[in-house]
Amino acid sequence: MHRYFIEMAYNGSHYHGWQIQPNAITVQEVISDALYKALGQNVNVVGAGRTDTGVHASYFVAHFDLEEEIEDVPHILHRLNRILRNDVVVYSLFEVNEELHSRFSAISRTYHYYLKTEKTPFFNDISYRPTFKLDMDKMNEAARTLFNYTDFTSFSKLHTDTKTNNCKVVQAEWIKNGDVWVFVIKADRFLRNMVRAIVGTLLEVGKGKLSVQEFEQVIKAKSRAEAGTSVPPQALFLVDVEYPKDAFDSIDKKPPFRVD
């Protein structure tokens, strides 16, 4: 059995997330279909995680298994990108050890959420413009409290099939670049809707509706009803999936991964 990893990116505007579902087009579906056309056989594509409807990934990882080795990887990669629509691209395709899993071997994921503080006729499909003034210092103070907790039930979509709502957040901060504010959050795993719910609640802090202490109380409540409204999905990007440093040691040609 040969296991292959693919590095890819997609604009999620026209997709109902990554995960295949009935009566809705998803990224997993179009990738599976493209691989079938390129390889001449059905494969089960497993992603590094799920993204919700309308959410983008500037960096995503998936894997699939084949009985036989791919003889001409560059040719298959070229065919894939000719088959795929312009809103999905595969950057690389390479073989890995069978034990390596795109989802379960990953040690962290990083998301960015983009705010535009000034009105613009551009980028509205990949950013969110709040109509109120925000206090970034207060939002960053509240964001730092995320490091003190592991149970993020308050920021999870209800009635999911996950076994635990525990996550370890290792980075959470707002970064300003002109009229673009970016919320950067990195954790070992994320719950469904977690980032958008956190951002929505931090905006409540930023506009003075919640204090930093009240933000912490939201976390402690372990109730989605206590948190703020989720922000729109179009401004959210999965930007990195990280694996252990030694994950690719046995591969002759190292993939263009960032495995800091």
Q: pLDDT tens across 24-61, in order? A: 999 999 999 999 999 999 999 999 998 999 999 999 99
- Tell whether the model's pLDDT for residue 251 goes beyond 80: no
Identify the active-site residue in 33, 52, 135, 151: 52
CA distance 154 to 132: 24
Q: pLDDT tens across 177-231, in order? A: 999 999 999 999 999 999 999 999 999 999 999 999 999 999 999 999 999 999 9
- Tell whether the model's pLDDT for residue 73 goes beyond 70: yes
Partners of 7 in the β-ladder: 61, 92
Mean pLDDT on 115-138: 92
- Tell whether the model's pLDDT for residue 253 goes beyond 80: no
Under DSSP, the state recorded for 21 is B
Give residue 248's pLDDT. Answer: 73
- Tell whether the model's pLDDT for residue 246 goes beyond 90: no
Confirm if 102 and 238 have CB atoms less than 8 A apart. no
Under DSSP, the state recorded for 48 is S
Give me the helices (H) in 40-176, please.
73-83, 136-144
Give residue 158's pLDDT. Answer: 75
Give residue 161's pLDDT. Answer: 66
Reply yes or no on whether 137 is catalytic. no
Give residue 254's pLDDT. Answer: 47
Partners of 115 in the β-ladder: 128, 181
Cα-based angle 84, 86, 89 (whole degrees, multiple of 5): 60
pTM of the model: 0.92
Q: What is the mean pLDDT of the chain?
A: 92
